[in-house]
Amino acid sequence: MYRPFLIGESRSLMETHEGIYRYFIQPQLDMVNQSLIGYELLMKQFTPAGWRPPMSFAAVPAEIIATVLVATTRKLALKIGSVSVNLNRTQMLNPQINEALIQAQSYLRPVRLNVELTEEITDKDITIAQLMPMIKQYDERGMEISLDDVGTGQNQLSDVEPLLPYAREMKFALQNFDVGLDDPGLVKQLVYWRDIAAAHNLRFIVEGTETDADDAFLNTLHIDFRQGYYYGKPHLLKIHPDDPDQ
């Protein structure tokens, strides 16, 4: 059974032979009210080149995700609406990770924990019926489901449509495209997903905003919720005082 990490105990529980894993936090903003609405937790691994995203998030051991998540949320004391964490369908079905999510929500309360569900081709055989016990469990505890990276990879409408009745948020990542907001095709995709989110009463967050031009263009599309380097880079939330800075 999963045992929650206790502050001050051996850090080996959060480390593997491949290095240290930690969460970095990045702000999410409501541009209409000019307010901070939440943070996304982004996992990184310490390498000889410094902190880098894991080569494969799906390959990060469940125990690492669970332990680092609980330790991180114990450190957070935030007066915001939500904290978001990424999981794929396989990870959602992992009992160890689910127990950690529930533990994390108890530490964060009244801040809401959002589970950003990523779609991967390796998860294509996992059905909504298999996910429903976890989704109901999250809902009972005040947690929410966010559909991450819509419009890219396995996250086309046919892939996410069955989850729309259970989601509260949708995220569109500009950084997943090789073109900028001056590209008509990207703008068409962005408006398409914005309208789907509106039709289902979902928050629609655009991430990957990096420039004044991006910010100004999103204003013209009336997209209020945003995330990206333009508003704030991810920064390390240390669990131990001697965690490396870079």
Condensed to tens digits (0 to 9), the pLDDT of residues 4-47 reads 444 444 455 456 544 699 999 999 999 999 999 999 999 999 99
CA distance 231 to 228: 6
Domain with residues 20-236, CATH architecture: Alpha-Beta Barrel (3.20)
Condensed to tens digits (0 to 9), the pLDDT of residues 62-103 reads 999 999 999 999 888 777 899 999 999 999 999 999 999 999
**What pTM did the predictor assign?**
0.89
> Among residues of the chain, what percentage have pLDDT more than 70?
92
Tell me the domain boundaries of the chain.
20-236
